[in-house]
Amino acid sequence: MLKYFINKSIYGVAVLLGVVVLVFFLFQGFGDPSRLVMGQRADQTTQENIRRELYLDQPKWKQFLAYLNDVSPIGLHSEDEINRKGLQGVFITTGSKKIGLKIPYLRTSYQSRREVGTIIREALPGTLLLAAAAMLLATCAGISIGVLAALKKGTWMDTTAIFTSILGISSPSFFMAIAIAYLFGFVWNQYTGLHMTGSWFDLNTKTGVPTLTLSNLILPALTLGIRPLAIIAQLTRASLLDVMQQDYIRTARAKGLPFSKIIWKHGLRNALNPVLTAITGWFAELLAGAFFVEYIFGWKGIGKLTVDALEKLDFPVVMGAVLVSAGFFVLVNLLADLLYGIIDPRARIKNI
């Protein structure tokens, strides 16, 4: 199992390296970053200084190595770079440079001149809260509907569950976001008490202190959870129907075990592997793909931050958000591999 986990970790690092390469060469070629940083008022000397600071006076391959050195948790920097960039970590002096473990440096925003890492850390709690709420709703409702559809196969309950899940899968999130925001946040506002836009905290107009407003979470979480809910329901139904045909289920019935115990302890537990794959995959996707939902509902998270940065051509923020999202993908997939071994002992035996 340890060897399997190490191999997966190596694959994850390779994926992150590929994302770094793609992000760098995709965004570094758009316009002149030094012009975006200084605006229209600076002189030629200022522009040259900015280009030198951003390594734009170097060949592309040197620019890439410098960027890789910044975003990597292991870096080689001079004393001046460490102080100028405010790098945090443990460094060992090797000649004129220092090497060590550090917090990845995602560089500085073109617009606000703040560190991208700080900006993303401020937006990350909102995205985590939204994705967790949406995935919790999708998991609980999806598994319950899938089990009900499997147990009531061929009835109107099964047909209704399949029909609604197909509708949920085929409905784009941005369309559902507009429809749900308009209906529940505007047309039926007097009944729901919900708003079209709003984040997880609002500023008190009297005191200026941010207050927690989780009611704003309901509509975006519902919108974001519709598609994974539909997929989880279908996977649970199909997997449980297959498991219920296995020999050990017939043996459990022959022993006279209660039907509820056969379903929940023997049937559902062995049917959860494909469902777990969907849950972990969708959770990672929700963390990275809630851009339009956050933007439509005005939810302050990484998605809205990225869209706003794209509008302002603030490429370091976009690049940092993409790297953080890719990191979550890799981390969640690694956690999923560990959960397989906990839920299904066959996965542990297979990967030893």
Higher local confidence (pLDDT), 352 or 34: 34
331 half-sphere exposure, CB direction, 13 A CA radius: 10
- Average pLDDT of 252-281? 79
- Average pLDDT of 172-195? 86
Model pLDDT for residues 186-214, shown as the tens digit of each residue = 888 888 888 888 887 776 666 666 677 88
* In contact, 291 and 303? CB cutoff 8 Å: yes
- Does the pTM surpass 0.85? The reply is no
CA angle (326, 328, 330) in 5-degree steps:
75
- Average pLDDT of 304-327? 87
**Helical packing angle, 218-243 and 156-170, nearest 10°:** 130
- Average pLDDT of 172-194? 86
Q: Of 124, 95, 96, 121, nearest to 106 (Cα)?
A: 121
- pLDDT above 90: residue 119: yes
pLDDT tier at 96, thresholds 50, 70, 90:
confident
CATH of 116-350 given 1.10.287.130, 2.40.50.100, 1.10.3720.10, 3.40.50.11540: 1.10.3720.10
- Mean pLDDT computed over every residue of the chain: 81
Spatial strand order of the sheet with 97-102 comes to 74-77, 97-102, 89-94
**pLDDT computed for residue 136 by the predictor:** 92
Higher local confidence (pLDDT), 186 or 337: 186
**pLDDT computed for residue 48 by the predictor:** 73
How far is Cα 52 from Cα 183, in angstroms, rounded to an integer? Answer: 52
Each domain of the chain, given as residue ranges in start order, spans: 116-350
Rounded to 10 degrees, what is the CA torsion of 61, 66, 72, 76? Answer: 120
